[in-house]
Copies of this chain bind each other. A is one copy, B any other.
């Protein structure tokens, strides 16, 4: 093997919710070793420029193209970090990488490096609203029909789960989240607590706790995670938490 090219690799890394103090040392080390950073442009922009580092920013909604690029670069011997916000395994690039890997005869060395996902950063800022059994649901209907989303929300509510909604509302689907609130009102009591957590740990952070009766669609946007408590979720001081025991 003398003189052989060093093998390439791909690490899919979670940058956390925004604050550099929430980037794990493992992810920082991978970025320090990388020859290439691949990802959605706003996340690539969070990686500082340095000599020897090529940055490959791309648009939203091209996850499979981005994943294929990362695999191709690694196959050519490059050291590639695919960056995701939050955790790469939660509604982010890790699944896309494996989808792109299907059918390839050879895979490079792959590592998935976890990060602080948005719902857990949001929960920490609010208190402990996910302190008992909970569900994470992506409200984007890009990749699944609205009927599936509604079906899941009903089962989550009837099962007594707290819920965290990712991508609750976008310019392309302004009315969908109003429908989600209507559905929650069919399944849950008006006093149920909701936390709208926007851009947590960044300078744009905004936290709003309301009851389901008070909730309005425009309280959410694409940078918001919405947490719906279970029926036992309560306030203490400025905090919101869900007790560890079952509601009944």
What is the interface of chain A, defined by CB distance below 8 A to chain B?
16, 19-26, 29, 63, 87-92, 94-99, 101-102, 107, 110, 112-117, 120-121, 123-125, 127-138, 143-145, 148, 151-152, 154-156, 158-161, 236-237, 239, 241-246, 248
In the complex with contacts A133-B138, A138-B132, A124-B241 CB distance below 8 A: no
Do A244 and B63 touch across chains, with their CB atoms under 8 A apart?
yes
Q: Which residues of B contact A236 (CB under 8 A)?
A: 98, 101-102, 107
Do B121 and A245 touch across chains, with their CB atoms under 8 A apart?
no
A-B contact pairs, 27 of them (CB 8 A): A21-B24, A21-B26, A21-B29, A22-B114, A88-B128, A89-B129, A89-B130, A90-B130, A90-B131, A91-B131, A92-B131, A94-B124, A94-B127, A94-B128, A96-B244, A98-B241, A110-B239, A114-B124, A117-B120, A133-B135, A133-B136, A143-B244, A143-B246, A144-B245, A151-B160, A154-B159, A155-B161
Contact of A22 among B24, B112, B137, B242 (CB under 8 A): B24
**Chain B residue at minimum C-beta to C-beta distance from A158:** B155
Q: Which of A96, A102, A114, A134 has the most CB of B within 10 A?
A: A114
Q: Which residues of B contact A248 (CB under 8 A)?
A: 148
Per the bound structure, the CA–CA distance linking A95 and B154 in Å amounts to 25
Q: Which residues of B contact A152 (CB under 8 A)?
A: 133, 159-161
Q: Which residues of B contact A132 (CB under 8 A)?
A: 91, 95, 138
In the complex with contacts A130-B89, A143-B246, A237-B101 CB distance below 8 A: yes
